[in-house]
Structure 1
Amino acid sequence: MKYVDEYRTRPEAQALAAKIREEADPARVYRFMEFCGGHTHVLSRWGLTDLLPENVRMIHGPGCPVCVLPMGRIESARELALEHDVTLCTYADLLRVPAVKGKSLFDARAEGGDVRMIYSPMDAVKMARENPERQIVFFAIGFETTTPPTAAAILAAKAEGLKNFSVVCSHVLTPAAMNHILDTPTAPKLDGLVGPAHVSTVIGWKPYASFAEKRRVPVVVAGFEPLDMLLSILMLVRQVNDGRAEVENEFTRAVTADGNRKAIALMDEVFELRDSFEWRGLGSVPHSALKIREAYAEFDAERRFNLPYRSIPEPKSCLCGEILRGEKEPAQCPLFGRGCTPSHPIGACMVSSEGACAALWTYGRRADKEKTKNTNQETTK
């Protein structure tokens, strides 16, 4: 398959890994964070960390929209489904995320709530059109990748004059979270960032320029195939060795400097910045999320149903927050593989298909766990 098979070839992967080992200075440790959960899974699925030298460390970031959604947001959605007699629609991964007392949206459905899994926001618009007597609420989550479709759904509902469609907007912004992690004193010192792929197809690579220019942190936007990842790591190693801090675009077949202007225009039309938004593991992050503009307030479910937000502390035994900040590895969590598994998740990092814990469990937890024991002390210095 074009743009897939040619980025999964063994000889090229071995050659890139050899170049990384050759060019990585043995006298230093390189700490690179892959922000996106998709990159975390690429590393685990293809065993790329086994090809890297010991002094090149990949640190998992918070780049999974399901993982970073705080429990308070899940509780608000459960309240909608159980107390307001609405049909609540959202994406599949979110249905299994546990909130208070381990209860999820799946549990809300078992308790009598009308909770539906959908593939597109337009599915919810169609449901509203076909069921005018029901209030249809779309629980919207995701980074900039999934934000334009939500905006398009709101515009479609307005064009059709639908009075029974609304959105709980929990869309969050990537650059704000990256800045917050770099400002967190307990987070590991980073020598470079692997920029997200799908997000960057929408917003472009220019929003990362401040990391290089002001913070002197190299950024390489990477695709989601094994050769993409290895080449991006090599590019970061070279920047560090040269004393450079630039934004480089490895994913040139999909990402441009300015991104998708039509998608950005859609977002700007419908949404505006929130003053602050709580992230799981990161706390309250200023100007890191979107809300629906006043012009489209009739489609804002938080206003329509007067939904207050309540911050809810995470379970003390779950290290999901520390994992999302890059402070801990999944295998260091006392619940990993014991009380917390994909079939019985306790933390969001195990629920989501892009979560770091799910990646470690699915693609070789034993080997990675042993490696974590041996290298964690150096990684967190």
Structure 2
Amino acid sequence: MSMKFVDEYRDPELAKHVSAEIARLSGDQPLKFMEVCGGHTHTIYKHGIEDVLPPNIDLIHGPGCPVCVLPMGRIDDAIAIARKEGIIFTTFGDMMRVPGSHGSLLDAKANGADVRFVYSPLDAYKLARQNPDRQVVFFAIGFETTAPSTAVTLLRAKAEGIKNFSIFCNHVTIIPAMKAILDSPDLRLDGFIGAGHVSMVIGMRPYNFVARDHQKPVVIAGFEPLDIIQSIYMLVKQLNEGRTEIENQYARVVRPEGNVKALQAMAQTMELRPFFEWRGLGFITHSALKLRSDFADWDAELRFEVPGLRVADPKACQCGEVLKGVIKPWECKVFGTACTPETPIGTCMVSPEGACAAYYSYGRFSMASERNRLHVLPITQ
């Protein structure tokens, strides 16, 4: 079936037809699939996909929100850099309101720090060229999706010899996080909806271990409603046929080999850290990137002293359990009361890709139906 326009990916009749096929293939067998990417979580709740699926299919929200997985200590490090004299600190907009242990970057800006939001590392680089007497730092976050743009900007800075620009590197990698989830004793999954944008860069091969070592299927999915429903159908079909393979539903964008040029730029500029702390998942080996020694002159962690402390999350916040898929957002004690997008306690409520923000924006009024689906008693509001 060939589709050209976005409306075709949102056809309600086709969605019902595919959902009926999912119900037929899965029977009454309860199945849990994790969508790793926060973009998928928002599509699921914005378009009410769970209401279309048969009740035995349970979608679990994974740690695919790069803002959400950063531990509080790294936010504190960013704020410490931003407060230094002569710094222009640049960041994506959704990082501005993420709470550290003593406020956010937005609070630091209100208290006099020169914090600016940008759309790309190249915007930050342009600021460095326009302000040669100031040090410009870019807060680099994201999975392999955004790492190539950081890498290309670093290569340009080195080629042009711009020394008043540096990167505070917090890029993380999706595969070690999936390994940590699969090794987690408190979560049992039947398969993964693979992250489309990450896979556009890394390709399909890195997921092979999921099928080989854990006998779980992975279907890399696009971001429209029918993309996700078709991916769930493909997962159920695999299980029904006794297969566990890596399949690509998002073939219009994702190539099996990924984006070779992007991977080369990353390899030139970055290398794996021995370990990195993830909110909710703890320390995971080889799960994040740092700048190579050739780019030490552009490494903000080497150029500026940062506290580097490990900071515990607020006790009321259960963001870690949400990121691991152990609880749904509405099961958190402070969800929608003390913790809202206007007054976030945890990162999952701040980011546009956060599961809590998705529930709050699209799903908070259908929690009763969610509980009915799961056959649990409603909690009083």
TM-score interval w.r.t. the shorter chain?
over 0.9
The CA distance in 2 between the partners of 1:210 and 1:4, in whole Å, is 33
Residue 373 and residue 302 in structure 1: after superposition, are their counterparts in 2 closer, same or farther (change >3 A)? farther
Partner of 1:199: 198
The number of equivalent residue pairs is 375
Residues 85 and 113 in structure 1, CA contact (< 8 A), matched pair in contact too: no
Q: Which moved more, 1:125-134 or 1:308-317?
A: 308-317
Summarize deviations over 1:32-67 as a string: whole Å, max 9, x none: 000000111111011010111111100010100000
Residue 200 and residue 3 in structure 1: after superposition, are their counterparts in 2 closer, same or farther (change >3 A)? farther
Partner of 1:117: 117
Is 2:25 aligned against 1:23? Answer: yes
Unaligned runs of 5+ in 2: 377-381
Residues 331 and 372 in structure 1, CA contact (< 8 A), matched pair in contact too: no
The CA distance in 2 between the partners of 1:299 and 1:373, in whole Å, is 53
Is 2:361 aligned against 1:359? Answer: no
Residue 299 and residue 147 in structure 1: after superposition, are their counterparts in 2 closer, same or farther (change >3 A)? same
**Superposition misfits of 4+ residues, deviation over 4 angstroms:** none
Letter of the aligned partner of 2:19 in structure 1? A
The CA distance in 2 between the partners of 1:9 and 1:88, in whole Å, is 44
Percent of residue pairs identical: 52
Letter of the aligned partner of 1:237 in structure 2? V
Residue 312 and residue 376 in structure 1: after superposition, are their counterparts in 2 closer, same or farther (change >3 A)? farther
The CA distance in 2 between the partners of 1:45 and 1:195, in whole Å, is 19
The CA distance in 2 between the partners of 1:90 and 1:345, in whole Å, is 18
The CA distance in 2 between the partners of 1:6 and 1:159, in whole Å, is 45
SS at match of 2:214: coil
CA shift for structure 1 position 364 = 2.7
Residues 144 and 172 in structure 1, CA contact (< 8 A), matched pair in contact too: yes
**CA RMSD, 1 decimal:** 1.5
CA shift for structure 1 position 84 = 4.3
SS at match of 2:200: helix
Residues 38 and 224 in structure 1, CA contact (< 8 A), matched pair in contact too: yes
CA shift for structure 1 position 100 = 0.6
Q: TM-score, normalised by structure 1?
A: 0.96
CA shift for structure 1 position 99 = 1.2
Residues 80 and 307 in structure 2, CA contact (< 8 A), matched pair in contact too: no
Partner of 1:217: 216
Partner of 2:343: 344
CA shift for structure 1 position 5 = 2.3
Residue 85 and residue 122 in structure 1: after superposition, are their counterparts in 2 closer, same or farther (change >3 A)? same
The CA distance in 2 between the partners of 1:247 and 1:71, in whole Å, is 34
SS at match of 1:366: helix
Q: TM-score, normalised by structure 2?
A: 0.96
Summarize deviations over 1:8-36 as a string: whole Å, max 9, x none: 1122111111111121121x210100000
Unaligned runs of 5+ in 1: none
Residues 331 and 369 in structure 1, CA contact (< 8 A), matched pair in contact too: no
Letter of the aligned partner of 2:326 in structure 1? E
Partner of 2:303: 304
